[in-house]
Amino acid sequence: MKNFIKHSFNRKTRLAWIAALLGFGLAVWFGRIDSLPQSAYQLLDPIAPITAQDRVMVVAPHQDDDVLGAGGLIQQARSAGAPVKVVWATDGNKHRLKAERESEARSAMSELGLSKDSLVFLGFRDATLQNDPNFPAILMAEIEQFKPTIVVTTLAGDHHPDHAACGEVVGELQQQFGYRAYYFLIHFTNYPQPFGSDRHSYLLPPLKLINANNTWRVLPLTKEQLIAKEKALKAYRTQLSLKNPFLKTLLWSFIRQNELFLVKE
Ligand SMILES: [Zn+2]
Protein backbone atom coordinates (compact mmCIF):
# COMPACT_ATOMS: atom_id res chain seq x y z
CA MET A 1 0.00 0.00 0.00
CA LYS A 2 2.77 2.36 1.05
CA ASN A 3 4.65 1.60 -2.13
CA PHE A 4 1.51 2.10 -4.15
CA ILE A 5 0.89 5.56 -2.61
CA LYS A 6 4.53 6.51 -3.09
CA HIS A 7 4.46 5.22 -6.63
CA SER A 8 1.22 7.02 -7.59
CA PHE A 9 2.36 10.25 -5.85
CA ASN A 10 5.62 10.22 -7.73
CA ARG A 11 3.80 9.56 -10.95
CA LYS A 12 1.32 12.37 -10.29
CA THR A 13 4.11 14.76 -9.31
CA ARG A 14 6.04 13.87 -12.41
CA LEU A 15 3.00 14.39 -14.60
CA ALA A 16 2.29 17.75 -12.93
CA TRP A 17 5.87 18.85 -13.55
CA ILE A 18 5.77 17.73 -17.17
CA ALA A 19 2.45 19.56 -17.68
CA ALA A 20 3.78 22.71 -16.00
CA LEU A 21 6.98 22.70 -18.04
CA LEU A 22 5.07 21.98 -21.24
CA GLY A 23 2.65 24.82 -20.45
CA PHE A 24 5.51 27.21 -19.71
CA GLY A 25 7.33 26.11 -22.88
CA LEU A 26 4.24 26.61 -25.04
CA ALA A 27 3.52 29.99 -23.46
CA VAL A 28 7.10 31.08 -24.18
CA TRP A 29 6.88 29.66 -27.70
CA PHE A 30 3.71 31.60 -28.47
CA GLY A 31 5.08 34.77 -26.91
CA ARG A 32 2.64 34.86 -24.01
CA ILE A 33 5.44 34.94 -21.44
CA ASP A 34 8.27 37.46 -21.84
CA SER A 35 10.00 37.19 -18.52
CA LEU A 36 11.55 34.72 -16.13
CA PRO A 37 9.69 33.78 -12.95
CA GLN A 38 10.80 35.83 -9.94
CA SER A 39 12.45 32.76 -8.38
CA ALA A 40 15.03 32.84 -11.20
CA TYR A 41 16.69 35.80 -9.42
CA GLN A 42 18.64 33.34 -7.26
CA LEU A 43 20.26 31.90 -10.39
CA LEU A 44 21.78 35.19 -11.53
CA ASP A 45 25.29 36.03 -10.30
CA PRO A 46 25.99 39.38 -8.65
CA ILE A 47 28.12 41.91 -10.47
CA ALA A 48 31.77 42.25 -9.35
CA PRO A 49 32.02 44.73 -6.44
CA ILE A 50 33.19 48.21 -7.46
CA THR A 51 36.49 49.16 -5.82
CA ALA A 52 38.34 52.40 -5.03
CA GLN A 53 40.53 51.74 -8.08
CA ASP A 54 37.52 51.95 -10.39
CA ARG A 55 36.38 55.07 -12.20
CA VAL A 56 32.71 54.90 -13.13
CA MET A 57 31.10 56.84 -15.96
CA VAL A 58 27.33 56.69 -16.39
CA VAL A 59 26.16 57.72 -19.86
CA ALA A 60 22.44 58.48 -19.61
CA PRO A 61 20.47 59.30 -22.77
CA HIS A 62 17.91 61.40 -20.83
CA GLN A 63 17.52 62.94 -17.39
CA ASP A 64 16.01 60.04 -15.40
CA ASP A 65 17.74 57.05 -17.09
CA ASP A 66 20.68 57.60 -14.68
CA VAL A 67 18.51 56.88 -11.61
CA LEU A 68 16.34 54.22 -13.24
CA GLY A 69 19.22 52.09 -14.48
CA ALA A 70 22.08 52.91 -12.14
CA GLY A 71 20.84 54.82 -9.07
CA GLY A 72 22.03 51.95 -6.84
CA LEU A 73 25.29 51.41 -8.71
CA ILE A 74 26.19 55.09 -8.35
CA GLN A 75 25.71 54.83 -4.57
CA GLN A 76 27.80 51.67 -4.35
CA ALA A 77 30.57 53.25 -6.40
CA ARG A 78 30.55 56.28 -4.08
CA SER A 79 30.67 54.03 -0.98
CA ALA A 80 33.63 52.17 -2.48
CA GLY A 81 35.46 55.47 -2.99
CA ALA A 82 35.40 55.26 -6.79
CA PRO A 83 35.13 58.57 -8.69
CA VAL A 84 31.82 58.83 -10.59
CA LYS A 85 30.89 60.99 -13.56
CA VAL A 86 27.39 61.19 -15.04
CA VAL A 87 27.06 62.33 -18.66
CA TRP A 88 23.63 63.13 -20.12
CA ALA A 89 23.55 62.89 -23.87
CA THR A 90 20.35 64.82 -24.65
CA ASP A 91 18.95 68.12 -23.39
CA GLY A 92 15.55 66.72 -22.35
CA ASN A 93 13.85 69.55 -24.22
CA LYS A 94 11.13 67.45 -25.88
CA HIS A 95 8.48 69.20 -23.78
CA ARG A 96 10.46 72.47 -23.54
CA LEU A 97 11.67 71.46 -20.11
CA LYS A 98 15.42 71.75 -20.59
CA ALA A 99 16.13 74.00 -17.60
CA GLU A 100 13.80 72.08 -15.28
CA ARG A 101 15.23 68.73 -16.24
CA GLU A 102 18.82 69.86 -15.71
CA SER A 103 17.93 71.19 -12.31
CA GLU A 104 16.05 67.97 -11.48
CA ALA A 105 19.07 65.95 -12.58
CA ARG A 106 21.30 67.95 -10.20
CA SER A 107 18.86 67.35 -7.32
CA ALA A 108 18.57 63.66 -8.15
CA MET A 109 22.34 63.23 -8.20
CA SER A 110 22.77 65.12 -4.93
CA GLU A 111 20.40 62.52 -3.36
CA LEU A 112 22.95 59.93 -4.50
CA GLY A 113 25.89 61.92 -3.15
CA LEU A 114 27.21 63.51 -6.35
CA SER A 115 28.17 67.16 -6.60
CA LYS A 116 27.76 69.46 -9.61
CA ASP A 117 31.31 68.96 -10.85
CA SER A 118 30.60 65.24 -11.45
CA LEU A 119 27.84 66.07 -13.93
CA VAL A 120 28.08 66.78 -17.67
CA PHE A 121 25.22 67.83 -19.96
CA LEU A 122 26.14 67.27 -23.60
CA GLY A 123 22.93 68.94 -24.77
CA PHE A 124 22.09 67.01 -27.95
CA ARG A 125 18.48 67.36 -29.03
CA ASP A 126 16.05 64.67 -27.87
CA ALA A 127 15.58 61.79 -30.32
CA THR A 128 18.45 62.84 -32.61
CA LEU A 129 21.42 60.90 -31.21
CA GLN A 130 21.34 58.11 -33.78
CA ASN A 131 21.61 60.55 -36.66
CA ASP A 132 23.96 63.10 -35.15
CA PRO A 133 27.46 62.62 -36.59
CA ASN A 134 29.01 64.62 -33.70
CA PHE A 135 27.71 62.45 -30.88
CA PRO A 136 30.36 59.66 -31.03
CA ALA A 137 33.27 62.15 -31.09
CA ILE A 138 31.89 64.29 -28.25
CA LEU A 139 31.24 61.25 -26.07
CA MET A 140 34.68 59.92 -26.92
CA ALA A 141 36.26 63.17 -25.73
CA GLU A 142 34.51 62.77 -22.35
CA ILE A 143 35.75 59.18 -22.06
CA GLU A 144 39.26 60.22 -23.04
CA GLN A 145 39.29 62.89 -20.35
CA PHE A 146 37.74 60.89 -17.47
CA LYS A 147 39.44 57.54 -18.24
CA PRO A 148 36.71 55.29 -16.80
CA THR A 149 37.35 51.64 -15.88
CA ILE A 150 33.57 51.03 -16.07
CA VAL A 151 31.08 52.70 -18.42
CA VAL A 152 27.41 52.20 -17.60
CA THR A 153 24.80 52.98 -20.25
CA THR A 154 21.67 51.78 -22.01
CA LEU A 155 21.68 48.61 -24.10
CA ALA A 156 22.02 48.92 -27.88
CA GLY A 157 18.94 46.67 -28.13
CA ASP A 158 16.78 49.14 -26.15
CA HIS A 159 13.74 50.18 -28.21
CA HIS A 160 14.28 53.93 -27.73
CA PRO A 161 16.61 55.20 -30.49
CA ASP A 162 18.54 57.54 -28.12
CA HIS A 163 19.11 54.63 -25.75
CA ALA A 164 20.23 52.39 -28.60
CA ALA A 165 22.65 55.09 -29.81
CA CYS A 166 24.36 55.38 -26.39
CA GLY A 167 24.77 51.59 -26.21
CA GLU A 168 26.18 51.45 -29.72
CA VAL A 169 28.76 54.20 -29.22
CA VAL A 170 29.92 52.88 -25.83
CA GLY A 171 30.24 49.43 -27.44
CA GLU A 172 32.23 50.78 -30.39
CA LEU A 173 34.71 52.63 -28.14
CA GLN A 174 35.20 49.82 -25.63
CA GLN A 175 38.13 48.13 -27.31
CA GLN A 176 40.02 51.39 -27.78
CA PHE A 177 39.68 52.47 -24.14
CA GLY A 178 39.58 49.06 -22.43
CA TYR A 179 36.78 49.74 -19.93
CA ARG A 180 34.18 47.24 -18.75
CA ALA A 181 30.77 48.07 -20.22
CA TYR A 182 27.62 47.59 -18.13
CA TYR A 183 24.38 47.96 -20.08
CA PHE A 184 20.93 48.43 -18.59
CA LEU A 185 17.58 48.21 -20.30
CA ILE A 186 14.66 50.65 -20.01
CA HIS A 187 12.40 50.38 -23.07
CA PHE A 188 11.66 46.84 -24.23
CA THR A 189 8.52 44.82 -24.95
CA ASN A 190 6.70 43.91 -21.73
CA TYR A 191 9.63 45.00 -19.60
CA PRO A 192 10.00 45.05 -16.66
CA GLN A 193 7.71 42.41 -15.22
CA PRO A 194 5.73 42.84 -13.05
CA PHE A 195 5.01 46.23 -14.61
CA GLY A 196 4.49 49.11 -12.18
CA SER A 197 5.39 49.88 -8.61
CA ASP A 198 6.47 46.72 -6.76
CA ARG A 199 9.53 47.37 -4.61
CA HIS A 200 9.72 43.78 -3.33
CA SER A 201 10.15 42.30 -6.80
CA TYR A 202 13.35 41.64 -8.67
CA LEU A 203 14.40 43.10 -12.00
CA LEU A 204 15.07 40.19 -14.38
CA PRO A 205 16.20 40.06 -18.03
CA PRO A 206 13.55 39.54 -20.72
CA LEU A 207 13.53 35.99 -22.08
CA LYS A 208 14.27 37.30 -25.57
CA LEU A 209 17.63 38.67 -24.39
CA ILE A 210 18.83 35.53 -22.63
CA ASN A 211 21.37 33.67 -24.72
CA ALA A 212 24.93 32.36 -24.61
CA ASN A 213 26.40 35.73 -25.69
CA ASN A 214 24.61 37.79 -23.03
CA THR A 215 26.01 37.78 -19.49
CA TRP A 216 23.44 39.29 -17.12
CA ARG A 217 24.50 40.29 -13.62
CA VAL A 218 22.47 41.62 -10.72
CA LEU A 219 23.34 44.38 -8.28
CA PRO A 220 21.33 43.88 -5.08
CA LEU A 221 20.34 47.10 -3.29
CA THR A 222 20.29 47.56 0.47
CA LYS A 223 17.16 49.01 2.05
CA GLU A 224 18.94 52.38 2.45
CA GLN A 225 20.11 52.40 -1.17
CA LEU A 226 16.58 51.65 -2.36
CA ILE A 227 15.20 54.54 -0.27
CA ALA A 228 17.83 56.93 -1.71
CA LYS A 229 17.11 55.69 -5.23
CA GLU A 230 13.42 56.38 -4.72
CA LYS A 231 14.17 59.88 -3.39
CA ALA A 232 16.38 60.53 -6.41
CA LEU A 233 13.61 59.36 -8.75
CA LYS A 234 11.15 61.72 -7.04
CA ALA A 235 13.48 64.60 -7.94
CA TYR A 236 12.40 64.05 -11.57
CA ARG A 237 9.13 65.80 -10.92
CA THR A 238 8.44 66.80 -14.53
CA GLN A 239 8.79 63.18 -15.69
CA LEU A 240 6.56 61.87 -12.93
CA SER A 241 3.91 64.48 -13.65
CA LEU A 242 3.69 63.97 -17.42
CA LYS A 243 0.23 63.05 -18.61
CA ASN A 244 1.43 59.77 -20.12
CA PRO A 245 0.36 57.12 -17.55
CA PHE A 246 2.51 54.45 -19.23
CA LEU A 247 5.68 56.48 -18.68
CA LYS A 248 4.93 57.10 -15.02
CA THR A 249 4.23 53.41 -14.42
CA LEU A 250 7.43 52.54 -16.27
CA LEU A 251 9.51 54.83 -14.04
CA TRP A 252 8.16 53.26 -10.84
CA SER A 253 8.89 49.79 -12.24
CA PHE A 254 12.60 50.41 -11.65
CA ILE A 255 12.28 50.77 -7.88
CA ARG A 256 13.16 47.13 -7.29
CA GLN A 257 15.31 44.98 -5.03
CA ASN A 258 18.14 45.02 -7.56
CA GLU A 259 19.57 46.63 -10.65
CA LEU A 260 20.38 44.56 -13.70
CA PHE A 261 23.26 44.80 -16.16
CA LEU A 262 24.39 43.04 -19.28
CA VAL A 263 28.14 42.93 -18.77
CA LYS A 264 30.80 43.05 -21.50
CA GLU A 265 34.27 42.69 -20.07
ZN1 LIG B 1 15.50 57.69 -21.68
Q: pLDDT per residue over 76-125, tens digit each?
A: 999 999 999 999 999 988 778 889 999 999 999 999 999 999 999 999 99
In the reported structure, the alpha carbon of residue 71 is separated from the centroid of ligand 1 by a whole-number distance in angstroms of 14
State what percent of residues in the chain have pLDDT above 90. 80
- 11 in a domain, yes or no? no
pLDDT for position 34: 84
- 230 in a domain, yes or no? yes
In the reported structure, the alpha carbon of residue 57 is separated from the centroid of ligand 1 by a whole-number distance in angstroms of 17
In the reported structure, the alpha carbon of residue 26 is separated from the centroid of ligand 1 by a whole-number distance in angstroms of 33
Nearest-CA neighbor of 36 among 226, 200, 209? 209
In the reported structure, the alpha carbon of residue 220 is separated from the centroid of ligand 1 by a whole-number distance in angstroms of 22
Nearest-CA neighbor of 24 among 11, 9, 34? 34
CATH number of the domain where residue 51 is located = 3.40.50.10320
pTM, two decimal places: 0.88
In the reported structure, the alpha carbon of residue 21 is separated from the centroid of ligand 1 by a whole-number distance in angstroms of 36
- 64 in a domain, yes or no? yes
- 190 in a domain, yes or no? yes
- 33 in a domain, yes or no? no
Domain count of the fold of the chain: 1
In the reported structure, the alpha carbon of residue 92 is separated from the centroid of ligand 1 by a whole-number distance in angstroms of 9
**Most confident segment among 5-14, 64-73, 238-247:** 64-73
CA dihedral 219, 126, 136, 152 (to 10 degrees): -10
- 10 in a domain, yes or no? no
- 110 in a domain, yes or no? yes
- 21 in a domain, yes or no? no
Residue 239 domain boundaries: 38-264
pLDDT for position 95: 78
pLDDT for position 244: 83
In the reported structure, the alpha carbon of residue 161 is separated from the centroid of ligand 1 by a whole-number distance in angstroms of 9
| Average pLDDT, integer, range 47-64 | 98
> How far is Cα 169 from Cα 162, in angstroms, rounded to an integer?
11
For the stretch 152-194, pLDDT in tens is: 999 999 999 999 999 999 999 999 999 999 999 999 999 999 9
| Average pLDDT, integer, range 192-203 | 96
